[in-house]
Structure 1
Amino acid sequence: NPFKGSLDPAKLRDCIARHGAEKIPFVRMEASTNLIGGQPFSIANMREIRGICDEFGIMLVLDASLIGENAYFIKMREDEFKDSSCADILKTMCGLADLVYFSARKVSSSRGGGICTNDHSIAKKMEHLVPLFEGFLTYGGISVREIEAMAVGLYETTDLTVISQSPSFIEYFIGQMVDMGIPCVTPAGGLGAHIDAGRFLPHIPQEDYPAGALAAAFFIASGVRGMERGTLSSVRDENGNDILADVELLRLAFPRRVFTLSQVKYVADRMKWLYDNRDLIGGLEFVEEPPVLRFFMGKLRAKSDWPEKLAAKYRQDFGESL
C-alpha cells in the first residue's frame, strides 16, 4: 500500500457515530505518520476526510512536521500530481486543513516551530495561550535569526532535490534490509527506516520492550542510536499494566543532508550482523519510569546479562574496532 498513512473514512464515520461530533474537537492527520513507519497519506484521502469534517462541522488539523517527504511521495505515487511542483502539492495539502502546525527541526532544519491558520476565529482562540506558554504572539519566543533560518528551510522544502534526499537514502536502506531478509516496514517511508522488532525478536514478549531492546542492542553492535517506537512509547492502563502497541519498531532516522552512502552501508552491515546474532538479545525493565513521556526520560536495565554476552560476541567477531 503506497499510502499507509491514509485515514480510514469508514472508521472515522464510525467514531463520529459512536461518540458524537460535538465531543470531537478536531481530526488530525500527520504528514508523514511517524508511529507506523513514516508512511504518507494521499491528497485524495485528505480531500475525503475534509469532506467528512465539513459534513459534521469538525476542524481538520494537519501535523506538517514531515510534509516535505509526504509531498515527495504524493508526487511519486499519486498520478494526479506526478507533474505538479512541490510547492503546489504543499499548498494543496495545507489548503485542505483548518490549522497547520509543525516542528521546524523536521520540516525546515531549524529550531522552534509554527502554528498556521487562515481562520481568524481559530487564531483568536489561541491568542491568549501563545504568550502564556510560548512567547509573544508574533514570534512565540523564537529569535529573529531562527525565524529567518526557518524561512530558508521552508523554501528548501519546495525543492525536489532537497526533499527527495532523505526518502532516497531510506529506500536504499530498506532495499538492503529486504535483500538480507531482515524484517522491516515496507514500502520505504519518510523520516527513517523502521525495523520490525516484533519479527526481529519474536522470543521477547512485548512487556519486555523488544523495540527498546533492539535499540540498545544495535547501539552496542554499531554505535548507532535508534529510537524505540512501540510499547515503551505507549502508556499504562489504570491498573498499571502496559498498553501493548500494535507494532514494535526500531526507527533509524535519516535527516536531510547529514549522512553519506558509506555510512548507510555501514549501518546495513551491522544490522545484518545483529540479525545473525539476534538470539543473544533479551528484554528490558524500567528502573525509573516517569508518569508522562516515559520514553524520553525513563531509565531501563537489561533483565539478564545479555548485553555482556552480545558485546563478547562482537569482540570475538570484530575485535575492539567499530
Structure 2
Amino acid sequence: MICGVLAYREFGMRFSKRYAAAEDGTALLKSTNPSSVLVPFAADLAVPEAESGSEYLTDVRAEGVLLIDGTNKKSLLSHNAYTRMNPASTTKIMTCLIALEDPEIHMDDLWTAGPEIVVSEPGASMGGFQQGDQLTAEQVLYCLMVRSGADAANMVATRVAGSEEAFVERMNRRAKELGATGTHFTNSHGLTDPDHYTTPYDLYLILHEAMKYPEFRKLASEKLYVADYVDASGQAVQKKWFSTNYYLVGKAKLPTGFSVVAAKTGTTLAAGACLAQLSASESGREYYSIVLKSPNHDTLYQDTSLLLQKSAQVH
C-alpha cells in the first residue's frame, strides 16, 4: 500500500511539472516516448492543441471552445483550449462529482437546509430552499444540475465536507488528480471570483470523469425534475425545476441526428454564457463540446451547434 502511494505521488509530481497551463498549455502530454509514465493517465483522453481547425471556427463567437470525439478519443477543434476563464455554473460538474465519489454519501440520505443556503449575489440561480427544509441528497443534486441552484451547491458542500472551505479544498485536490492544473476553485457554485477559473480542456477532463457515473448522466440530462419534500414545520412542499439547458427544454435545436447525453450550463456577467456537454450522434458516436464565454445564450447554442455540425468535416 505504501509503495502504491509513493508511486502515485511521484507520478503526480512528474505530471504537474509537465503541464503548467498558465505558462504553456500546448506542452501538455507532448512526450514522444511511448513508454512515458503519462501514457496510462491519457489512455482514455484526447489531448488537443491550443488552437486547431481555425478555418472551421470563423463563425464561432465564444472565446474558448473545444470539440472532442469521445468515441475515438480524438481532438477535433479547439480555440484557447488552455486559456484560463471563469466557468460560472459549469463549476457544478465538479461539485456533483465530489458528492458522487464520496462513499459516505447516499442518494436517500436526508439533508436539512441550514444557513449555508443563503446566497447574496444578485441574479444567482436558486432552487428556492428555506432553512429547515428536509430533502434527500438526490433531490439536492437534481436541483444542483437541473435548476443550477447555488443554494443546492452550498448545501452539497456543507453536507459532504462539513464546510464550504473544506469542500473547495477537495475540489482543487481532485482537479489536480485529473490533470486539470489550469483550474482553481474558490466556491462550489461558480459565482464570480477572480481566483475561480478553469480552461476548456480542464473542463473536458472534469466532465469526462463525471460521465463515468451513471447517476451523473441521469442528473445532467433531466428536462424537468419534481421534488416533493417537507419544510421545517413538516408541511409538504413541491418544487418543479426545469433544466437551464435550452436544448433540453426546446428553446434551441440540436443539429439533425444529435441528442444530449448530459450537460451543464453556466452564466454570469464575467463568464458570459457557457455550456459543457456530451452529445451523441445517430451512429452512437459521442462528442464532448466545451463552449466558454459566448456573448449571450442564443449565441452559445449557435456556437455549440456549429461545433457539432463541423464534426463530420474534421474527422
TM-score exceeds 0.5: no
The structure with higher relative contact order (CA 8 Å, sep 6+) is: 2
Larger Rg: 1
User: TM-score, normalised on structure 1?
Assistant: 0.26
User: TM-score, normalised on structure 2?
Assistant: 0.27
Higher relative strand content: 2
Higher relative helix content: 1
